[in-house]
Amino acid sequence: MPVSWPRALGIAALGAALALLPAHVLYGFTVDDALIPARYATHVARGLGYRWNAHGPITDAVTPLGFPYLLTPFAARGPLDALVAAKLLGLLAWTAAAALLAVTIDRASSSRARWSALVMLPASAPLAAWSVAGLETGLATALVSIAVCLVALGRGWSAVFPLGLAAALRPELLPFVLVVAITPPPGERMRLGRVDVFRAALAAAPFFLVVAIRLAVFGRPTPLAVLAKPSDPWLGAKYALACFLLTGPLALVAPRALLRTTPFVRGLVLAVAVHFAAVAVAGGDWMPLSRLVVPVLPAVILAAAHLASVADARMTAARVALALAGELFVMIKIGPVAARVGADRTALVRELGPALEGARVVASLDAGWVGAATEANIVDLAGLTDPAIAALPGGHTTKRIAPAMLDARGVDTLVLLLAPGARVETPWTASIFDRGVEARIARFPDMASSFVVTAESRVPGLPYVVLRRRADATRDVTGEAP
């Protein structure tokens, strides 16, 4: 089919606009973990190296190894500036990929029904929010989108590079990448010859290169997050099911249409199914808005467009309507709350930052925003940046921290989160805390006499408390008074 450049540019502009509009609405979304690579980038920019703490050891706290280096040129003034750069990088990458996705759908067939799938793009809160969250998800999503579009356009070898980068950024994408790498373009039969195996091996190579680097530098093949957040396949299965119902894959439940469509579409649907299974095995995720399945949602939209071209119009309308219902539920129910996260985190940094001045070592479960608020050493109670804590029993909010560990690290400041609706009691150790490790710390011996409340957050819904160690309460590592 000859290319009509005016039409292609118009369709590309439409795809970009459909991605930009919801991203603009949800631009305020982020997560605390986004400030972890931002702090690493700040230290690299200041010549301190790839470190969580300025004078601490090199640690593997960022799942997409090397991602902080992309932010380094913008990070000299601090983590918040690095976060802004990460948000814009994700937004630009996803907007460009959405433009290509729209052009690819336009070339999928001559059926008008193909456009029904594109309405899923602006309705997706996960796609929009994670493109601007400040993590690598926006980049991974753009890379996957570009790759599946290249395969759809008959350029399978060109897809190898973005597929490999996507798997290097997000390890759980490897099974998806392998399936897409052997999927034939429209019009060709499915085959698994030596060329296809070689293409899949090339696509997987960046993933294994990252594994090798991790083994050489950090002594383990996986990032600290895997150790800090133990996998629970049962929770992962529930997570994957919820994502399936709410993010759009319902539009692919079309058995008859799948039998009539091309091997390309069947391969794309299989790749999506394999990815959801991989996410379930990985144990899901604690972050909101279906983060782990977001990178494959462009493949869902592209496959749905192809299916709409061969399926019964009424069945297509019903499937797309079900998919949209799930997406709109998330957009309406969670979208407004998600859009306020960034502003709330910035407010915390500005409000409680002064209370952390002079601190040398701060312990907190929410290391991201705390690390943006102070240059002090941060003891990450979740273990995401700390190998010793990551290896402790418990989940990332219930690590079995011992009193001697806080003393050995020289912790002089605590930042703890109260439970919703709770307030600081007298003594403060009688307060109700939100997470297990914080409640555990409050039960340590002599905590009420060793630490005093110096500040409380007034940010709605985020009742953090800052506690400083009394000058006369210093203990040695055995927990005994000197």
User: Is 0.85 topped by the overall pTM?
Assistant: yes
Q: Are 207 and 222 in contact (CB under 8 A)?
A: no
How far apart are the C-alpha atoms of 418 and 395, rounded to whole Å?
19
Q: Is the pLDDT of residue 251 over 80?
A: yes
pLDDT at 1: 52
Kindly report the average pLDDT of the chain as a whole number. 93
pLDDT at 480: 39
Question: How confident is the model over 341-360, as pLDDT tens digits?
Answer: 999 999 999 999 999 999 99
How far apart are the C-alpha atoms of 438 and 214, rounded to whole Å?
31
Q: Is the pLDDT of residue 482 over 60?
A: no
**Residues in contact with 323: Cβ distance below 8 Å, sequence separation at least 6, in sequence order:** 120, 248, 249, 250, 251, 304
pLDDT at 190: 82
Q: Is the pLDDT of residue 427 over 70?
A: yes
- Count CB atoms within 10 A of the CB of residue 343: 12
Question: How confident is the model over 35-56, as pLDDT tens digits?
Answer: 999 999 999 999 999 999 998 9
Which has more pLDDT, 113 or 458? Answer: 458
Question: How confident is the model over 395-425, as pLDDT tens digits?
Answer: 889 999 999 999 999 999 999 999 999 999 9
Share of the chain above pLDDT 70, in %: 97
pLDDT at 475: 45
Pairing mode, if any, of strands 451-456 and 361-364? unpaired
End-to-end CA distance of the chain: 82
